Amino acid sequence: MLLSTGGQLTGKVREVESKKTPYVLVQVDQDLSVAIAKANSRMIVGDEKLQEYRRRVVEAGQDGQAHYELATWCRQNNLLQQRQYHLLRTIDLLPDHPNARAALGYTRKDGKWILTEVWRRNQGLVKDRKGQWVLPEVVAWRENADVNDKVAKRWIKTIKQLLSKIQRGDAEAMAEMAAIDDPLASQAIAKELVDSQKRGSNWRPVRMVWLNKLKEFRTGAAVEAIVKTGLLDTDDVVREDALAWLQSNETSSAIATYMPWLKSSNPKQVKAAARALAYFPNPEAAFVYIDALITIEKQTQQVGGGSRAGFDNAGGGGFSQGSKQVVVNTPHRHPEVLQLLRSIAPDVDFGYDKSAWKNYFAELRSPPRSDLRRDS
């Protein structure tokens, strides 16, 4: 019997079921028996299995395939050390036995068998905590990610403490906030900037500090928060400062976020998108702008309700009740989108006439016509 601690006992084994703790009784000799908790024994090999194993060893002889089949039997019967021996015996007799090689951790490369571990290490790979082969840089990044995550969470607490002091008029706390130079603080600062979008102009000084910090760090979380600020912030000063920075530094991120909002059925979202996109006019997006000139807002309304009784001219009577929901389509014109179109086509103004705008840009994009007739 093999123990979970790595030790080994040999003798007659008998399992004993107990209501408290099931155990295994190993009779080492005539005078000594050892009781081991069943939970602490990894495997049990009885005399019958050992006798069968010895018989199979004799039968295997010098037959490589028979040794591989015996290795499989050993695995099924918890004889793991014996299994390893018979796998090695298999490749001694049959060097190219693919299953035995695979079980021993070999892989075939350039016609030669090489231990997978050696081959992977020759590639410069290492094992991670899950036993997967990865580049050392990946392991280092994961380890740093764990540390960075803890630091980032500490910054959330620190930022809130500083903000609490600033709200009480602590000038030193404001200076301390402005002096933060750790990019790992960007996640905490980004959340505060976005969450405070509707808190009014009184918050502008500290929010501008946060915005400038995020511009400085320029991490993924920082850019995402600046993009949201340029789209939704109710403070014109903060919003326009964010858009001006995006215009010079992160144009693609801003456009990729703002353009889909032009297709919204929510008029407020279309207005916000057009207002922000005014900083990034793009003639190639003309037809998207045109479609957003007038959008349709769909609203569900309740029609009817209550009960009603009545009589016709012949003296007949009737009684009706109930209501139903209907979808009401409300068109919305967007002057912000019209202004966006005018910025890419300053010489014309077709107002909200979508067809006229589309014809105009279609003509601009059409190739010049040429007269293919030849003179006689």
pLDDT digits (tens, 9 = 90+) for 267-291: 999 999 999 999 999 999 999 999 9
* Nearest Cα to Cα of residue 250 among 274, 229, 272, 271: 229
In this structure, are strands 41-43 and 2-3 parallel, antiparallel, or unpaired? antiparallel
In angstroms, the CA 145 to CA 141 distance is 6
Residue 376 has pLDDT above 50, yes or no: no
Residue 306 has pLDDT above 60, yes or no: no
Task: Say what the pTM is.
Answer: 0.57
In angstroms, the CA 267 to CA 270 distance is 5
The one-letter amino acid code at 348 reads V
Predicted confidence band of residue 111 (pLDDT cuts 50, 70, 90)? confident
Burial 200-233 (b: 16+ CB within 10 A, else e): eeebeebbbbbbebbbebebebbbbbbbbbbbbb
- Residue bearing the bigger pLDDT, 234 or 138: 234
Of the spans 12-26, 56-70, 134-148, which averages the highest pLDDT?
56-70
Of the spans 26-40, 198-212, 308-322, which averages the highest pLDDT?
198-212
**In percent, how much of the chain has pLDDT > 90?**
53
Q: Looking at residue 105, what is its pLDDT? A: 87
Over residues 183-207, the pLDDT tens digits come to 999 999 999 999 999 888 889 999 9
State the residue for tokens 């003296």: 315
Predicted confidence band of residue 360 (pLDDT cuts 50, 70, 90)? very high
Token output for 96? 């190219």
Across the range 339-346, mean pLDDT stands at 95
User: Who's near 352: CB < 8 A, 6+ residues apart?
Assistant: 293, 294, 333, 338
CA 12 to chain centre: 56
- DSSP class of residue 185? G
* Nearest Cα to Cα of residue 76 among 100, 53, 59: 53
Q: Looking at residue 12, what is its pLDDT? A: 67
Cα 116 to Cα 113, 198, 315: the distances in Å are: 9, 59, 97
Yes or no: say if 99 and 68 are a contact pair by the CB < 8 Å rule.
yes
Least trusted range by pLDDT, from 195-204, 205-214, 225-234 = 195-204
Residue 310 has pLDDT above 60, yes or no: no
Q: Three-state SS string across 263-305, please?
A: HCCCHHHHHHHHHHHCCCCCHHHHHHHHHCCEEEEEEEEEEEE
Across the range 133-146, mean pLDDT stands at 70
| DSSP string of 44-88, one letter each residue | ---HHHHHHHHHHHHHHTT-HHHHHHHHHHHHHTT-HHHHHHHHH
Yes or no: say if 45 and 78 are a contact pair by the CB < 8 Å rule.
yes
* Nearest Cα to Cα of residue 288 among 270, 311, 276: 270
In angstroms, the CA 182 to CA 150 distance is 13
Predicted confidence band of residue 246 (pLDDT cuts 50, 70, 90)? very high
In angstroms, the CA 118 to CA 116 distance is 5
In angstroms, the CA 120 to CA 303 distance is 71
- Average pLDDT over the chain, rounded to an integer: 84
| Angle at which helices 267-277 and 251-258 cross, to 10° | 160
3-class state of residue 107 by DSSP: strand
Cα 77 to Cα 5, 43, 80, 83, 223: the distances in Å are: 20, 9, 8, 10, 59
Token output for 180? 């933060």
48-123 domain in CATH 1.25.40?
Answer: yes
